[in-house]
Amino acid sequence: MSRAEILESTDAAVAGIEDGSTILVGGFGLAGMPFDLIDALIRQGANDLTIVSNNAGNGDVGLAALLAAGRVRKVLCSFPRQADSWVFDGLYREGKIELEVVPQGNLAERMRAAGAGIGAFYCPTAVGTPLAEGKEEREIDGRRYLLEYPIKGDYALIGAHVADAMGNLVYRKTARNFGPVMATAATTTIVQVDEVVEPGKLDPEAVVTPSIYVDRIVQVEARRYTVQGAR
């Protein structure tokens, strides 16, 4: 990936996302959720998407709104069912959306593997459970493991706190969650940030996502998190 572009609008940031793309969407609940990029993606119109994210939408905003607009064919996530996941629940019960439930750690580690060039890895999670079905099992040093494959994205949409103009990123508190991993696992990583600063303003010891993983940056207005219907 060459140097990150800094774009003027979220619409420019999501331009060109093709129908049928696999999109990694950051966030854990509201924290780190790239709401502005998702709104832009809804306007942009890409269809038949596969979404990889920890949850499957809260309330009627963000991912839930993308689902409600009928743009999503399949969701890979660890925890779709929540108190306020009514949009997903409805689509799922009507058979209008595919679901692959992935243990949260596998979701993270499989994306890390995609970013790190690992072809597959043996993991102890889910051995002996229904989620082991169809997976290759192997015993190593007396412990049972399942073979897990990478999850690669065409795009990642993530939220971060501050970017420098090179594309280095820092996050805030537990809003860091999936962002740094997804940035490594996607062909094109698109980031919404609260602020863009000059190179040299971020402490090089504290950069969490190095610039090499970032393709497009857009600064957005600070979000009020008191979103109706989402927690």
Partner 1 sequence: MTITPNDQVRADHLLSMDELAAVIARDIPSGAFVNLGIGQPTKIADHLPAGSGVVLHTENGMLNMGPKAEGDAVDPDLTNAGKVPVTELPGAAYFHHADSFAMMRGGHLDVCVLGAYQVAFDGDLANWTTGKPEDIPAVGGAMDLAIGAKDVYVMMTLFTRSGEPKLVPRCTYPLTGVGCVSRVYTDHGVFDVGPDGVRIRETYGVSAHELAERLGIQLS
User: Please, what is the Cα angle at 35 between 115 and 90, to 5 degrees?
Assistant: 95
Tokens 């939408």 locate to 57
Binding of residue 189 to partner 1 (CB under 8 A): no
Q: Which residue has the tokens 């905003």?
A: 61
Total residues contacting partner 1 by CB under 8 A comes to 74
Question: Of these, 149, 165, 194, 196, which contacts a second copy (CB under 8 A)?
Answer: 149
**Quick one: tokens of 164?**
């420098």
CB 146 within 8 A of CB 125: yes
In sign, the C-alpha dihedral spanning 180, 182, 187, 193 is negative
Which residues within the stretch 97-126 sit at the binding site for a second copy (CB under 8 A)? 109, 113, 116-124
Please name which of 90, 66, 89 lies closest in space to residue 17, comparing C-alpha atoms: 66
Is the Cβ of residue 9 or residue 129 nearer to partner 1 in the bound state?
A: 129
* Binds partner 1 by CB under 8 A, chosen from 21, 53, 211, 219: 211
Min dist. Cβ of residue 38 to a second copy (A): 25
Q: Which partner from the list a second copy, partner 1, none does 170 bind, CB cut-off 5 to 8 Å by kind? A: a second copy
Q: Which residues contact a second copy (rule: CB under 8 A)?
A: 109, 113, 116-124, 138, 140-141, 143, 145, 149, 170-173, 203-206, 208
